[in-house]
Amino acid sequence: MKKTAILLSTSRKQGNTQRLVEHIAHQSDIDIVNLKDFSISPFDYEHRNINDDFVPLIRKLIKYDHLIFASPVYWYSMTAQMKVFFDRISDLLHVKKELGRQLRKKKTSIISTGASPKPERSFEETFLNSFNYLGMNYKGMLYCYCENNFDSHKHKNTIDKYIKENFT
């Protein structure tokens, strides 16, 4: 089994983030799990949504040693789909605690693209605070500024450094 999975969340098929993720996955033989392929309902305090795709997705993800969360920067934050995913982790603290405990010590990192030369600190901090709370080990973020379209040649050094630090 592969040790690393990228959890991709983007609204634009073949957009910058998806193209970056596919480039990295191809170079490093990593699985891509696209949130668009799952039906995940927003968090519900009464847990009426427990039979959607969230728990099966978590069961799939806990088999990996390293989870990479990929999202473009939307309004200084992660995509809505990724936010729903993180909100649903609350289920793992109350209903499915045995699954939640299995997230501890997992390696995590972030892949992102955006239209600003640098992402706002709040983008990375949202992920980082969640990883810290869950006892996950954060390894860093790869961010590629894409004024227009993602160009792997333009970001070659940054991507190579990220791959070397995370997969070799």
Could you list the pLDDT tens digit for every one of the 168 residues in the chain? Answer: 469 999 999 988 889 999 999 999 988 889 999 999 999 999 999 989 989 999 999 999 999 999 999 999 998 999 999 999 999 999 999 889 999 999 999 999 999 999 999 999 999 999 999 999 999 999 999 999 998 899 999 999 999 999 888 876
Quote the pTM value.
Answer: 0.95
CATH code for position 153 = 3.40.50.360
Task: Give the helix/strand (H/E) hosting 78.
Answer: none
pLDDT of 2: 64
Instruction: Judge contact between 111 and 70, C-beta under 8 A.
Output: yes
Cβ–Cβ < 8 Å for 60, 99: no
Backbone CA torsion sign across 129, 164, 81, 53: negative
- For the chain, the domain total comes to 1
Q: Cα 87 to chain center, whole Å?
A: 13
What is the residue range of 28's domain? 4-167
pLDDT at 1: 43
Q: Say how far apart CA 2 and CA 155 lie, in whole Å.
A: 25
